[in-house]
Amino acid sequence: MSKPAFERLRQHEDKLDHCIRCGYCYEHCPIYKHTRWETDAPRAKLALCYGLLLGDLEPSDYIATKLQECFFCKRCETNC
């Protein structure tokens, strides 16, 4: 029996809804500070998750890589 697509991601959908896309998380993200690329910011990772959940984006190696490029320091979450 196959599991529904993005079951684990869908479990956190209510948390994704808390983000108002203000960008305050940028200044606390060590990866964004290093690269200065929008796609490395926490807000961009949330946008990718939404795109996957809504079916607007197809899963790809690029998206998987971007979502995994995180130190999981939770500075973005703490300062949200």
Question: Is the pLDDT higher at 8 or at 69?
Answer: 69
Work out the pLDDT band at 1, boundaries 50, 70, 90: very low
Confidence of residue 4 (pLDDT cuts 50, 70, 90): low
- Ramachandran category for residue 70: left, alpha or beta (phi over 0 → left; psi -120 to 50 → alpha): beta
pLDDT at site 2: 43
**What DSSP character marks residue 4?**
P
Distance CA 11, CA 18 (A): 14
Neighbours of 74 (CB within 10 A): 12
Q: Collect all residues with Cβ–Cβ distance below 8 Å to 70 and sequence separation of at least 6.
A: 31, 45
Which residues have CB under 8 Å from 9's CB, separation 6+?
49, 52, 53
pLDDT tens-digit series, residues 25-73: 888 999 999 999 998 999 999 999 989 988 899 999 999 999 999 999 9
